[in-house]
């Protein structure tokens, strides 16, 4: 028990003792936790008493706590602060964990007990929440292959293990390509770049050990470089490197991994009796069918493409006026769009950015949560896994609610993107436990740290996920927080983005980094007026990715995913100067695991709801209407997966939404 990962943590709020954990602690702790979980599962499966909800389904909710602790710490640092030792461990752990959980889901004695409880469900007098947990548990076993036997059962275990390995390799290859490439900039190369980009490039150069400023493949640095650099040759070089991630040949190439992953997913679905992987995956989502997903995406695609093509014509004229002949290229779009935004909306990103200080935007996200839900945030001085991290205790009316951790800055050891995870989820069984929630972002580091408007939206988005975890109020961990349908999970996060656009929020928290002065009213109006600027581009790059993801899984697995990607883009008429937001070799949402596979559409599905949900506030008493806030917490944020997602939304809104509010919100309505 000298391993710091294993005993009860006698720390503030039971937080992981990050200052005591060493990389060499993970493997023995994992072995111990797996063995303990196996013993707990065996005790449930071999219980001589007749199967009941309490001694089978509820018992499953109570076990695996040691494993949860180890995995919570390990996957936090593996994603946000990786190193070669942690990458080796992740490669070793992935097949081991896949085999472990496949063994549980394939445990015939255990499944027989779950099935026995399921068969008695109408006579058990369960609460609604218990009935939901029973249904999800039984369905989870069936979908995992518990009803398979013989060669099919053995093959399912092989597939799961291989998919776990492939997902880890995909993620690590992408991280390696992002970490290893950078472009050094001379002082002349900095001409035309605003101070905040230059500062971020210098900080990135220091982090890389370069002699001067550099551009990296971190989105928070490369996107503003593409927006502002007048050097078309450098923009092209940087964009091509960004586009080539995961497709450079050699050991980090992800194209073969993508093909094998899709093939194995199809085989897995067919073993379970489904026509294809998309039919299997969408069965448990709000959308239910691939056709429902395609119908939604195409309703949005056509007006978005029309807007993007119109915008491309304007940007091409601007480029020609600059003396650059030929067609508008992907590395030109952001540069000329930024110039157009400055001209049409008189909005200069360089002048705007000092008003979006990271610390002030954190304060803004907290202040909105306070007004809506009564939450208060007090800084904590506790050991965390990286010096950049910070923590707060979250309370309401003096009562502890959660611990929130923020890890905001890009670094080479962190995978790209932004995410929210719970190191400990809320539950009341087998004992009360409060959540420990982390937001991880990749903002460019500078002093003071300044965000783009898009960065600020990302911060609010991830904090919306955090609220879903922190305000969860259910009995069982398996339905806690964000344990909901994939196409429902983005509703709270995307809905929370709307509060960044509330004028009084910007008026209070968008203050200048040097003078402290609030954003001038004229600039604030321009920011809000430009909220739908370039939305054709943004919608096209997203919807194209979602349609390719759907095509990969709705039918036979393509032998050559890159050829399939090209085929889909040609069919839908992808504008030449726009690329998918996530091309196949970089599509971690889809290929690092099953989470968003055949599910990347879910952001759009959720946006249909979030646009409609925010309209509910506007129709009531405004953005901070107390009754709507209470309804949002009661029916969505606190409910977790305790009911079907559609039922939860109808309970909040009174009806299901249509696509009209989304198109209006994106400025794409006719």
The catalytic residues are 462
User: What region does 11 belong to: left with phi over 0, alpha with psi -120 to 50, or beta?
Assistant: beta
Of the candidates 9, 29, 26, the one whose C-alpha atom is nearest the C-alpha of residue 17 is 9
By the 8 A CB rule, do 61 and 478 touch?
Answer: yes
Q: Which residues pair with 395 in a beta bridge?
A: 376, 400
Of the candidates 353, 319, 372, 306, the one whose C-alpha atom is nearest the C-alpha of residue 637 is 372
Of the candidates 20, 12, 17, the one whose C-alpha atom is nearest the C-alpha of residue 69 is 17
Give phi and psi for 194, each to the nearest 5. Answer: -70, 160
Rounded CA-CA distance 286/596 in Å is 14
Instruction: Give 408's Cβ-side CA count (13 Å radius).
Output: 22
By the 8 A CB rule, do 105 and 160 touch?
Answer: no
Rounded CA-CA distance 278/284 in Å is 11
Cα angle value 241/245/249 (rounded, 5°): 100
Rounded CA-CA distance 293/608 in Å is 12
Q: Please provide the DSSP assignment of 420-433 as one string.
A: EEEEE--B-SSS-B
By the 8 A CB rule, do 640 and 479 touch?
Answer: yes
Q: Using alpha carbons only, how large is the chain's radius of gyration in Å?
A: 25
User: Pairing mode, if any, of strands 399-409 and 214-216?
Assistant: unpaired
Of the candidates 171, 163, 219, 95, the one whose C-alpha atom is nearest the C-alpha of residue 588 is 171
The structure tokens listed for 388 are: 């950049």
By the 8 A CB rule, do 216 and 222 touch?
Answer: yes
By the 8 A CB rule, do 602 and 293 touch?
Answer: no
Give phi and psi for 573, each to the nearest 5. Answer: 75, 50
Distance of CA 191 to the CA centre of its chain: 35
Cβ-count burial 389-416 (b if 16+ within 10 Å, e if not): bbbbbbebeeeebbbbbbbbbbbbbbbb
Helix H or strand E encompassing 399: strand 399-409
Rounded CA-CA distance 553/276 in Å is 7
SS3 category, 68: helix
Of the candidates 453, 425, 424, 435, the one whose C-alpha atom is nearest the C-alpha of residue 375 is 435
The structure tokens listed for 438 are: 């982390």
Helix H or strand E encompassing 642: none
Rounded CA-CA distance 128/146 in Å is 25
Helix H or strand E encompassing 396: strand 390-396
SS3 category, 21: coil
Cα angle value 90/96/98 (rounded, 5°): 100
By the 8 A CB rule, do 104 and 141 touch?
Answer: no
Handedness of CA 410, 412, 417, 419 (dihedral sign): negative
């Amino acid at each position: 028990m000298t391993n710091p990962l294993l005993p009860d943590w006698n720390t503030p709020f039971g937080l992981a003792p990050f200052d005591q954990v060493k990389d060499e602690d993970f493997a023995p702790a994992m072995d111990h936790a797996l063995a303990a979980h196996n013993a707990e599962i065996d005790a449930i499966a071999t219980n001589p008493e007749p199967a009941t909800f309490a001694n089978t389904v509820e018992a499953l909710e109570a076990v695996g706590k040691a494993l949860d602790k180890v995995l919570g710490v390990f996957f936090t640092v593996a994603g946000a602060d990786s190193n070669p030792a942690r990458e080796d461990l992740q490669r070793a752990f992935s097949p081991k964990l896949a085999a472990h959980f496949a063994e549980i889901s394939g445990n015939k004695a255990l499944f027989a007990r779950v099935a026995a409880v399921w068969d008695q469900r109408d006579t058990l007098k369960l609460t609604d929440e218990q009935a939901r947990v029973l249904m999800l548990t039984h369905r989870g076993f069936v979908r995992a292959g518990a009803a398979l036997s013989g060669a099919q059962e053995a093959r399912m275990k092989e597939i799961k293990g291989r998919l776990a390995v492939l997902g880890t390799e995909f993620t690590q290859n992408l991280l390696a390509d992002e970490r290893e490439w950078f472009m050094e900039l001379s002082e002349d190369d900095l001409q035309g770049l605003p101070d905040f980009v230059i500062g971020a490039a210098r900080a990135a150069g220091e982090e890389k050990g370069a002699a001067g400023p550099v551009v990296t493949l971190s989105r928070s640095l490369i996107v503003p470089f593409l927006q502002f650099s007048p050097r078309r040759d450098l923009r092209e070089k940087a964009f091509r490197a960004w586009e080539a991630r995961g497709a450079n040949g050699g050991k980090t190439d992800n194209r073969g991994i993508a093909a094998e992953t899709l093939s194995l997913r199809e085989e897995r679905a067919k073993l379970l009796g489904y026509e294809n992987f998309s039919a299997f995956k969408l069965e448990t989502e709000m959308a239910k069918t691939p056709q429902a997903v395609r119908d939604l995406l195409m309703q949005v695609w056509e007006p978005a493409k029309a807007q993007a093509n119109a915008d491309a014509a304007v940007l091409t004229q601007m480029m020609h006026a600059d003396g650059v002949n030929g067609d508008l290229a992907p590395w030109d779009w952001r540069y000329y769009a930024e110039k157009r935004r400055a001209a049409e909306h008189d909005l200069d990103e360089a002048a705007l950015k000092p008003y979006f200080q990271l610390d002030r935007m954190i304060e803004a996200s907290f202040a909105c949560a306070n007004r809506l839900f009564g939450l208060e945030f007090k800084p904590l001085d506790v050991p965390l896994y990286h010096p950049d991290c910070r923590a707060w205790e979250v309370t309401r009316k003096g009562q502890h609610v959660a611990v929130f951790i923020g890890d905001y800055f890009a670094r080479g050891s962190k995978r790209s993107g932004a995410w929210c995870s719970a190191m400990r989820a809320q539950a009341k069984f087998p004992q009360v436990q409060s959540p420990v929630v982390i937001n991880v972002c990749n903002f460019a580091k500078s002093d003071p740290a300044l965000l783009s408007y898009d960065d600020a939206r990302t911060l609010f988005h991830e904090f919306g996920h955090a609220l879903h975890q922190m305000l969860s109020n259910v009995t069982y961990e398996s339905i806690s927080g964000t344990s909901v349908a994939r196409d429902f999970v983005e509703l709270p996060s995307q809905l929370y983005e709307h509060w960044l656009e509330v004028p009084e929020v910007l008026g209070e928290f968008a203050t200048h980094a040097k003078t402290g002065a609030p954003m001038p009213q004229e600039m604030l109006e321009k920011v809000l007026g430009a909220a739908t600027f370039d939305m054709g581009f943004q919608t096209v790059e997203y919807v194209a990715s979602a349609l390719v993801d759907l095509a990969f899984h709705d039918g036979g697995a393509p032998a050559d995913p890159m050829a399939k990607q090209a085929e889909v883009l040609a069919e839908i008429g992808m504008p030449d100067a726009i690329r998918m937001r996530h091309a196949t070799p970089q599509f971690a949402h889809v290929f690092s695991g099953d989470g968003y596979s055949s599910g990347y559409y879910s952001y759009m599905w959720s946006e249909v709801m979030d646009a409609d949900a925010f309209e509910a506030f506007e129709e009531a008493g405004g953005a901070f209407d107390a009754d709507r806030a209470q309804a949002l917490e009661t029916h969505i944020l606190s409910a977790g997966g305790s009911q079907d997602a559609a039922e939860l939304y109808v309970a909040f809104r009174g009806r299901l939404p249509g696509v009209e509010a989304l198109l209006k919100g994106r400025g794409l309505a006719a």
